Amino acid sequence: MPDDATIIEGDAGFLGMASRLNPVQLQPGMCQLVENMRLDRGVAQTRKGAKRLGDDIAASNQPLVLPFVLNDRAIVRNSYSGGILASGVFSSPNYDNASEYLILCGPAGAYLWQQNHSITELAYPAGETLDATDLASCVQAFNRFYLLREADPSQAGWEWKYTSASGISVSGTIATVNITGHGYAAGQRVRIEEGASAAFAGHEFDILSVTSNALTIAVPAGTSPDVSAGIAIRRVKAPLWWDGSTVTFQRAEAGVPTAGASFKTLRSTGWASYINNRLWIPDGRDSVAISDVLDPDLYDPFFQSFRANQGSNDYLVAIHPWVEGQALVFMRNSIWLATLSDAANTAGTEFLVDSAVSKLQLLTDEIGCRARRSIVTAGQFVFFLSDAGVYRLDTQLDLKLRANTQPLSDPIADQLEEINSDYAYLAVGKWFNNRYHLAVTIGPEATSNNTLFIWNALNNQWESRDTYAIALDELLVSIYDSRRRLFAAARSGTLFLLDEMDRGDDVPQAEATDAFTPVDGYLLTRRYAFGSLNAKRLLRAKASLLLPPGAACQLHAVTTDYDNDFSIASLSNNQTDHEDYTLKAPLRCKATYLDLEFTTSAERPTLRQITAEATRSSFDPTETRTLN
């Protein structure tokens, strides 16, 4: 090579980011970091902003969320108890010809939302509420939309209580539960967890009447009393459902089923899975209860239940549907595959689980699931968040699932280490537009999902790390403008449509100078070494850009040995049309490596390619040292 020959290195397109790896070793097309950008067809473009929807939703008193703007209609309160605490998608022939709606559940009622339709409020039954401390979720099953709630037993009024020495007495079809100073009221629901009588243990009952030291419940005729002390009982929240035929939610059945005391009804639970026309619910730390086919209110604890990893330091996190009647059982430290086969009973009128051919198979005990809502199925893969990052269960040729030893998130493992472990369980995933979206809580002070990581299946790489001016408490996929779109529901009581607004997120800034929060795009290229580990003279950087009207971007240089960090160019489009630019910026410095930072500060600029030029001598300088 002749002296002072120009060396050109760069990227003709962009495929993904890998922040954990040595940036010098990254392949062309890979970046060290991409924030708030989309890598489509090899070009990098700032993402669109989120559009605020459903301003008519009145989910009780809404909490104050930053950033905020005070105006002449602002009301300052001492406490805020409102918000969207659970949400889901509902479609049923029972309501509006099976048109699809988002149902947003607030503290005192739920709200039906659909584009170009007025908000419809669905009331909860009298005395029923949804609290911010509840473990809550939504699922559609049997043409019903279920709101499942489990109260936090550490909260006052929901703790365990125990019967006095009189235990539980029975007179006809009324049982009296003797508990000193229980504090319950008529109409509330309680769960009896222990006791020698099958008519009480494990059942939930609605309270008929109360005195200061006793309460009454309805039981089947012939029920035997249980007069032992210390029977555990606590107040619970009944599962609620709506099927489109009324304007209010209904409470799930309580008491002893007509099938007998050995059967159970749908208990108070924070979540459930709908698999093969059955509801699968957690029934304790490591147990799963399965409903009858097409009957969500009848459970057989003997024939239709199982325990996973019994006796270990493990607990149930999620149940996820799989192929051929199988279900994935995600524990905190292991993953199991449940194969449950149905068989008709002797009368042929009921389908039970055939224990002879059903089995529970261990997939892995090296990893478990960290967040129930992070689990997503896409084709032959199942994505989920574990302690070691995002993993993907893959199928082999025999369609059996296998767990990989290397996490899918290995290229960005350093970023996922920033997840606040106390709130990692809030992570939520969704598959949309050939991408796995994972919203997580990043930062030691964060208490809600504030960052969205995106894995692009078309590029087979992690695409971007998005930050929002809103909380991503729930991700939903539904119809908007006749297309499937991705929504985010925030506990602050607002619904957002993601990737919609060119100007930025539809959230006012604190200084109230604009109705939008601009989206700041950021791309850090791989580290350019120009084929040598020795110093070079850096000449210039060149970028091919497309800027819409009002767009602005900047180019920044970071050098290594000599270490330096400086801005080299900025560009804005003040025209009324989209404009193509070739940005050329001088560097004029010596260094061994060069990183280029591309940032955007207005609208949605597009970076097509980027290159850098350097020169070096044909003979690299060397140092000779003689040791005695």
Tens of pLDDT, residues 211-241: 999 999 999 999 999 999 999 999 999 999 9
For residues 244 and 248, what is the distance between their CA atoms, to the nearest angstrom? 9
Longest dimension (CA), the chain: 105
User: Is the Cβ–Cβ distance between 557 and 597 less than 8 Å?
Assistant: yes
Q: Quote the radius of gyration of the chain (alpha carbons, Å).
A: 30
Is 547's pLDDT higher than 50?
yes
For the entire predicted model, the pTM comes to 0.92
For residues 406 and 423, what is the distance between their CA atoms, to the nearest angstrom? 24
| Residue 400, pLDDT score | 62
| Residue 65, pLDDT score | 47
| Residue 497, pLDDT score | 97
Kindly state the average pLDDT of the residues 80-102.
89
Kindly state the average pLDDT of the residues 417-440.
97
| Residue 397, pLDDT score | 47
CA angle 153, 157, 161 (to 5 degrees): 75
- Decide whether 5-47+520-616 matches 161-236 in CATH topology: no
| Residue 82, pLDDT score | 63
Is 290's pLDDT higher than 60?
yes
| Residue 596, pLDDT score | 98
Residue 211 has phi, psi (to 5 degrees) of -125, 180
| Residue 513, pLDDT score | 52
Is 128's pLDDT higher than 50?
yes
Beta pairing, strands 37-40 & 43-46: antiparallel
Q: pLDDT tens digits for 569-607? A: 999 999 999 999 999 999 999 999 999 999 999 999 999
Res. 617 pLDDT band, cuts 50 70 90: low
For residues 171 and 322, what is the distance between their CA atoms, to the nearest angstrom? 48
When the pLDDT of each residue in the chain is averaged and rounded to a whole number, the result is: 90
User: Is the Cβ–Cβ distance between 262 and 301 less than 8 Å?
Assistant: yes
| Residue 1, pLDDT score | 47
Residue 422 has phi, psi (to 5 degrees) of -70, -20
Q: pLDDT tens digits for 466-514? A: 999 889 999 999 999 999 999 999 988 889 999 999 989 998 655 445 5
Give the DSSP per-residue string, 49-104: EEEEE-TT---SSPPP-SS----TT----S----S--EEEEE-BTTBGGG--EEEE
For residues 200 and 192, what is the distance between their CA atoms, to the nearest angstrom? 6
Residue 11 has phi, psi (to 5 degrees) of -130, 125
Kindly state the average pLDDT of the residues 139-159.
95
For residues 206 and 443, what is the distance between their CA atoms, to the nearest angstrom? 43
If one compares 315 and 351, the residue with the highest pLDDT of the two is 315
For residues 227 and 499, what is the distance between their CA atoms, to the nearest angstrom? 62
Q: pLDDT tens digits for 48-65? A: 999 999 876 765 544 444
Is 327's pLDDT higher than 50?
yes
- Cβ of 331: how many Cβ atoms within 10 Å? 21
For residues 586 and 24, what is the distance between their CA atoms, to the nearest angstrom? 22
Query: What is the topology classification, in CATH, of domain 5-47+520-616?
Result: Jelly Rolls (2.60.120)
| Residue 265, pLDDT score | 96
Query: What is the topology classification, in CATH, of domain 161-236?
Result: Elongation Factor Tu (Ef-tu); domain 3 (2.40.30)
Kindly state the average pLDDT of the residues 544-549.
97
| Residue 621, pLDDT score | 56
Is 433's pLDDT higher than 60?
yes
Is 398's pLDDT higher than 60?
no
Q: pLDDT tens digits for 231-276? A: 999 999 999 999 999 999 999 999 999 999 999 999 999 999 999 9
- Going from N- to C-terminal start, the domains of the chain cover 5-47+520-616, 161-236
| Residue 619, pLDDT score | 55
